[in-house]
Structure 1
Amino acid sequence: MTAHRNFKQRVRARAAKTGESYTTALRHFRPTPAGEDMPESLRIAVAQSTVHDDPTNPELLRESGAEVRRLMREAAAAGARLVHFGEGALCFPSKRVMSSLGPDEIGPSDWTKADWPVLDAELDQITRLSGELGIWTVIPSVHQQPDARPHNSMYVVSDKGRLVTRYDERALSTTKVTWMYSPGTEPVTFEVDGYRFGLALGLDVMFPELFTEYDRLGVDAVLVSYASTDGPNGHIGVQAQGTAANNTYWISLAVTANPETGLVAGVTNMRGEWVAQAPEDGRPAIAVAELKAEDWTTIGRAFRQRTRERIGS
């Protein structure tokens, strides 16, 4: 935490001394591959995709994988450096399908029923395609563990087709934590062309303290993946906007392609304004936005840091 605070202070000090913008000063501290300058903006794509809830069905898993790869190609064709998918893009396992007592009674999930070979094969194809397209891919999936319940996770795949990191959902619902998954424990960040991203999944979006943590870690944006399979959930979009404005960083919200939820995929700027949104008709699609590091992020963070120190939070 201290290292990140000192890093930001060094960037601000250079900007004040030279008169450079924060983004320009940042280039001197965040080298990019082959000595290239950090770009003024970074184009990202966010997806809304079809969600199936039966990981025991190989055909549905293959359908989801094919849709993800189609949207990856669309994102690459649009010039995106990163494409971000929602929770359940490959599968959002149903508590009833997975219940060892079900489907009429909810009980501990029997993960031996999942078709792990097909799921792994779809993830392998997605990983290879990231390298072929030269695009970073953030794809949620179930992460199997040998001696414990799986994690509900987000995988980060580089433009070289390599798994870079994994984030595990921390704020699990009562059903998830009781019957289905092991909770994650830590925030995760990664960088693309000098821009730093945080990750959030599922009900993480409901807990402001997780996003305050990413503020303190100095991210430029948080990629939020959320599945909505029943009922209106428009409030999730409102929370994403408020989170962006409160922390003066960008939010990418990837969701289920379902018009009945009242929720569409999109990207907000650091003032909480939608700058790109997918179609409201709920069809699987991407939205593309230009993410920019701005001085306002630094100003807001400096204010929040001083205020937290003063009030002891």
Structure 2
Amino acid sequence: MTGIRIAIAQPTITADARANGKTVRSLMRKAAGGRARLVQFPEGLLSGYAKEQIADWSDVDWDAVCDELEQIMALAAELKLWVVLGSAHPLTPPHRPHNSLYVISDAGELVDRYDKRFLSNTELNHFYSPGFDPVVFDVDGYRFGCVICVEINFPHLFSQYERLGVECLLLSAYPVDAVFEVKARAHAAINCYWVAMSLPAQTVDLMPSGLITPDGTYAAQLAGKSELTITTIDRDDPALKVPLAHARPWRATALKGDIYRTRAVADPRSSDRTTL
């Protein structure tokens, strides 16, 4: 078999970090049982998401969040499974937390953390501190990147990841409208990479979690209240030859502009845009 198997989770998020951690570990075991190499979880899962489960950060048991994270890291090492996990990441008081995705390797190490760069107005003014950097990491020769929720409205983040060589963008979110799905499919098709979309069970009425291919169609979706889907990303899939082997490299070349500048014409019928 070619490619890499990934699992996308759609769990219910609660305000109880202990309950959320237990859910994470249960789904990690299911992902490993399905031979997945990576499992992705929604925005804010471990700690609970501000505006939904969390009204004030003082309500969060940060010791429980830290302990659950350590247990998840230990299980990742045991299962030899990469984990991308949404959670608030506490900073030194009085600074507000980051809205983050923890990147945990199959050795159980916290190898990176993506901090949401573009926060909503409410997030920025009441709940979170912004991050500023993209995050990319490689698993079995495939390159992944991370974005969170409302960042779907900032196309330059998605094109930045294309330039960084990402093959699958992990989009973890807590969406509030159905057009979110349209935007995700468009970013996948425009940038010619997979978009894995992990959402909480609470938003399944808007859209399901799933894996969108480089041509903007779904490779897998979670039906109903299902909590996990496991699917394969394969850059050698002949059905994706056009977006991967032709469209993506052509668009990268076209974006540089040289192929157009070298064919510019010196013709008054070109320069005069008011003539018939």
Coarse TM-score class (shorter-chain normalised): 0.7 to 0.9
Note if contact 2:44-2:99 (Cα within 8 Å) is conserved in structure 1.
no
In structure 2, C-alpha distance between the alignment counterparts of 1:63 and 1:95, rounded to whole Å: 16
Structure 2 match to 1:282 = 225
Q: Which residue of 2 aligns with 1:75?
A: 31
Give the Å deviation of 1:237.
1.7
SS of equivalent to 1:261:
coil
1:261 deviates by 3.0
Q: Normalising by the residue count of structure 2, what TM-score does the alignment of the two structures yield?
A: 0.85
Match of 1:94 among 40, 48, 51: 51
Aligned-partner residue type, residue 51 of structure 1:
I
Alignment-mate amino acid for residue 112 of structure 2: T
Task: Count residues in correspondence.
Answer: 252
Which amino acid is the alignment partner of residue 288 of structure 1?
A: I
CA contact (8 A) 1:95 1:180 kept: no
Equivalent residue number for residue 144 of structure 2: 197
Tell me if the contact between 2:7 and 2:229 (Cα under 8 Å) persists in the aligned partners. yes
CA distance in 1, matches of 2:132, 2:195: 21
The answer (yes or no) to whether the contact 1:276–1:287 under 8 Å persists in 2 is: yes
Confirm or deny: 8 A CA contact 1:275 1:289 kept in the other structure: yes
Corresponding residue for 1:245? 189
The 10-residue stretch of structure 1 (175-184 or 141-150) with the greater mean CA deviation from structure 2: 141-150
- CA positional deviation for 1:309: 2.1
Corresponding residue for residue 267 of structure 2: none
In 2, Cα distance between equivalents of 1:259 and 1:221:
22
Q: Per the alignment, in what secondary structure is the counterpart of residue 199 of structure 1?
A: strand
Cα deviation for residue 96 of structure 1 reads 9.0
Distance 1:271 1:286 in 2: 23
Moved over 4 A (4+): none
Displacement of 1:259:
5.8
Q: Report the alpha carbon displacement of residue 68 of structure 1 after superposing the two structures with TM.
A: 1.1
Pick one of 242, 248, 252 that aligns with 1:305: 252
Gaps of 5+ in 1: 1-38, 55-59, 100-110
> Distance in 1 between the 2:53 and 2:22 partners?
25
8 Å CA contact 1:259–1:282 kept in 2: the answer is no
1:57-68 residue pairs with structure 2 within 5 A?
60-68=16-24
Q: Which moved more, 1:296-305 or 1:204-213?
A: 296-305
Task: Report what 2:74 is aligned to.
Answer: 128
Could you say which residue in structure 1 is the equivalent of 2:11? 49
C-alpha spacing 1:220/1:96, structure 2 compared with 1 (3 Å): closer
1:244-288 deviations in Å (ceiling 9; x for gaps)? 110000010000113663211100111011011112x234x1111
Identity within the alignment, %: 38
Report what 2:270 is aligned to: none
Residue pair 1:249, 1:270 contacting (<8 A) in 2 also: yes
AA at the equivalent of 1:137: V
Post-superposition CA distance 1:187-233 (Å, at most 9, x none) = 110000010001001211222111000011111110000013xx6x3
Classify 1:95/1:225 alpha carbon distance in 2 versus 1 (closer, same or farther; 3 Å).
closer
Name the aligned partner's letter for residue 194 of structure 1.
Answer: G
Change (3 A) 1:242 1:120: same
How far has the Cα of 1:291 moved from its partner? 0.2
Aligned counterpart, 2:205: 261
The corresponding residue for 1:104 is none
Q: CA deviation at 1:113?
A: 3.7
Distance in 2 between residues matched to 1:151 and 1:165, nearest whole Å: 14
User: TM-score, normalised to structure 1's length?
Assistant: 0.76
The letter of the residue matching 1:269 is T
How many angstroms does 1:97 deviate by? Answer: 4.8
Q: Which amino acid aligns with 2:5?
A: R
- Whole-angstrom distance in 1 between the partners of 2:161 and 2:203: 30
* Structure 2 equivalent of residue 154 of structure 1: 101
Distance 1:97 1:83, change over 3 A: closer
Q: What RMSD over aligned residues (CA atoms) do the two structures have, in Å?
A: 2.0
CA drift of 1:95 comes to 7.2
1:64/1:42 Cα in 2 relative to 1: closer, same or farther (>3 Å)? same
Q: Distance in 2 between matches of 1:262 and 1:149?
A: 29
Question: What one-letter code is carried by the residue in structure 2 that aligns with 1:165?
Answer: D
